[in-house]
A and B are shown apart, each in its own frame.
Chain A
């Protein structure tokens, strides 16, 4: 009993329970808000209302200028940093980069992370009840595009009283949302941070996504997407989809270094019949299985489609320079050398278009053997560049606040 009290006293002192890392945002609690509709989607359909689940870290300053929006990627959600309880084993998905003293420094920024519309972590999506039928939406949930997310995120900004984000930040599909923000609401963000992203998917990217979707829809338990109503779950299909995705997130080199041809079980000894399992097989299966237990297959299909549909310059005569000439924010772009899903070339195209449009941009090509996943992982150079850039963002905010006081 006494011991518990001591722990509480310590936790009060440090602002977070003992045992959590000092540079963690600590224990965080998701919030949720239901926005009244009608909310018109890019596909033409209308949602009567929708709910977004989100988390915030750090404090919003008096002039509400220090907001940073985190846009998540394919399988992400609102839990980007910190822990949900003291016994939580793993922090949020971008905890390496969000927290006190980290590149997105919660001592200086008010960070907002949400689960996108169509998600399966509490925001309105295929697992929600369709008010018209009283049953889960399932495959009937409207297809979404990045701009739908951006528009709903803008409503979240309104709710929080944030007229202009200090920065909108995202990796991969999140980077696409950040870029879309810079065109849809040019005045509502000062900086746009786009990591390991692209202005549109390549045919190869789409091919991988389609194979993943086929794995899900061809699972007999998929039931045309009505598996919730029929009380089944295409777990195997989703696991295979995740395995395919996972291969594309890693590099040949990265997989080779991590697993090589190491065996988990079995033998090649002559005269011994024992089935061989490579370490990489078991690793991929574990990734697939753990994912399929926590993610909704229809959401996976919806998210991969949104990726496929994204084309930044489609409505600007397919001219990225014309598109970016509408942007008013400054840009930081980062790519990773071994990323073949969103290769450095894709980021260079963004940098070139921004330069032609005379938009301020900084671009770094970070050496990493970790493939596309590198954007989530620790990497000294990535951290340094990111931190230096965000430091400028914070300094700029302080400068403009001072300038306003003088005026």
Chain B
């Protein structure tokens, strides 16, 4: 099953372009972009199991820790730099986005929206950090160390003068699916941003 956010990214990435996928996971997105849109490029991943899956799919993957930066990539060496559901795991998310916009002409970022009603509900009424299907970790043992909301990210973009080409909220549940377009920060489960400088 392809996640909805991956469908949207698929539409935003131009055919035959050169793509760098940061935190590429099992390489499913790159494999799909390669076969359906003749996109070339590389995945960057740190998890040995995910790297193994990439190799099995025939996806080019390079083992690298994103927290060490993207210094090894030249300016504008890719058309699009992608990062799906990894922003919240980074030590300095804003620096990585800056780097993504240096390395790529455009970048596409997805992250879980911590402002979604379920998270708010959980925190408001149980008084504890939200744990859900999408974010199944306890606060003390989670790769997700920098949560933000739709609104938080909008502010970050403004402060850094990043130009938002597209923004989209995604939700798996049908009710939220309708409401997310009106109140993305409340009903969007996943935020997708398409940025440039």
Q: How large is the interface on A (under 10, 10 to 19, 20 to 34, 35 or more residues)?
A: 20 to 34
**Chain B residues within 8 Å of A389, by CB:** 55
Determine the residue in chain B with the shortest Cβ distance to A393.
B58
Q: Give chain A nearest CB distance to B36 CB in angstroms.
A: 18
**Chain B residues within 8 Å of A361, by CB:** 42, 60, 62
Within 8 A of A (CB), among B47-77: 48, 51-52, 54-56, 58, 60-64, 72-74, 77
Q: Give chain B nearest CB distance to A174 CB in angstroms.
A: 21
**Chain B residues within 8 Å of A352, by CB:** 72-73
Residue from A348, A355, A362, A367 in contact with B55 in the complex, judged by beta carbons closer than 8 Å:
A362
**Chain A residues within 8 Å of B61, by CB:** 362-363
Q: Give chain A nearest CB distance to B62 CB in angstroms.
A: 5
Is B168 an interface residue, CB under 8 A from the partner? no
Is A4 an interface residue, CB under 8 A from the partner? no
Residue from B42, B48, B51 in contact with A355 in the complex, judged by beta carbons closer than 8 Å:
B42
Is A343 an interface residue, CB under 8 A from the partner? no
**Chain B residues within 8 Å of A289, by CB:** none
Is B88 an interface residue, CB under 8 A from the partner? no
Determine the residue in chain B with the shortest Cβ distance to A359.
B60
Determine the residue in chain B with the shortest Cβ distance to A333.
B62
Within 8 A of B (CB), among A364-400: 364-365, 367, 381, 384-385, 388-389, 391-392
Question: In the bound complex, what is the Cα–Cα distance between A362 and B72 (angstroms)?
Answer: 15
Is A351 an interface residue, CB under 8 A from the partner? yes
Question: In the bound complex, what is the Cα–Cα distance between A352 and B56 (angstroms)?
Answer: 22
Question: In the bound complex, what is the Cα–Cα distance between A185 and B56 (angstroms)?
Answer: 27
Residue from A348, A351, A365, A384 in contact with B52 in the complex, judged by beta carbons closer than 8 Å:
A384
**Chain A residues within 8 Å of B89, by CB:** none
Is A220 an interface residue, CB under 8 A from the partner? no
**Chain A residues within 8 Å of B54, by CB:** 362
> B60 and A392: CB pair below 8 A?
no
Is B144 an interface residue, CB under 8 A from the partner? no
**Chain A residues within 8 Å of B52, by CB:** 381, 384-385, 388
> A363 and B40: CB pair below 8 A?
no
> B55 and A381: CB pair below 8 A?
no
**Chain B residues within 8 Å of A360, by CB:** 40, 60
Is A356 an interface residue, CB under 8 A from the partner? yes
Q: Give chain B nearest CB distance to A398 CB in angstroms.
A: 13
Identify the interface centre among B54, B60, B64, B74: most chain A CB within 10 Å of its CB. Answer: B60
Within 8 A of B (CB), among A236-279: none
Number of interface residues of B (CB under 8 A): 19
**Chain A residues within 8 Å of B55, by CB:** 362, 364, 385, 388-389, 392
> B51 and A385: CB pair below 8 A?
yes
Is A61 an interface residue, CB under 8 A from the partner? no
Within 8 A of B (CB), among A130-165: none
Is A282 an interface residue, CB under 8 A from the partner? no
> A392 and B58: CB pair below 8 A?
yes
Determine the residue in chain B with the shortest Cβ distance to A348.
B72
Q: Give chain A nearest CB distance to B166 CB in angstroms.
A: 27
Residue from A362, A384, A385, A388 in contact with B60 in the complex, judged by beta carbons closer than 8 Å:
A362
Is A358 an interface residue, CB under 8 A from the partner? yes
Determine the residue in chain B with the shortest Cβ distance to A347.
B63
Determine the residue in chain B with the shortest Cβ distance to A335.
B63
Is B18 an interface residue, CB under 8 A from the partner? yes
> B60 and A356: CB pair below 8 A?
no
Identify the interface centre among B42, B63, B72, B73: most chain A CB within 10 Å of its CB. Answer: B63
Question: In the bound complex, what is the Cα–Cα distance between A385 and B48 (angstroms)?
Answer: 9
> B62 and A351: CB pair below 8 A?
yes
> B60 and A364: CB pair below 8 A?
no
**Chain B residues within 8 Å of A388, by CB:** 52, 55-56
> B63 and A356: CB pair below 8 A?
no
Question: In the bound complex, what is the Cα–Cα distance between A367 and B51 (angstroms)?
Answer: 13
Determine the residue in chain B with the shortest Cβ distance to A384.
B52
Query: Which 5 pairs of residues, A with B, have the shortest CB-CB distance?
Result: A388-B55, A352-B72, A363-B62, A365-B63, A388-B56
Interface set of B (CB-CB < 8 Å, partner A):
18, 40, 42, 48, 51-52, 54-56, 58, 60-64, 72-74, 77
Cβ contacts A to B, 21 pairs, < 8 Å = A330-B60, A348-B64, A348-B72, A352-B73, A355-B62, A355-B77, A356-B77, A360-B40, A360-B60, A362-B54, A362-B55, A362-B61, A364-B51, A365-B63, A367-B48, A381-B52, A384-B52, A385-B51, A385-B52, A385-B55, A388-B56
Known pairs A330-B60, A356-B77, A392-B56 / 14 extra A-B pairs, C-beta < 8 Å: A348-B64, A352-B72, A356-B74, A358-B18, A361-B42, A361-B60, A363-B63, A364-B48, A364-B51, A381-B52, A385-B55, A388-B55, A388-B56, A392-B58
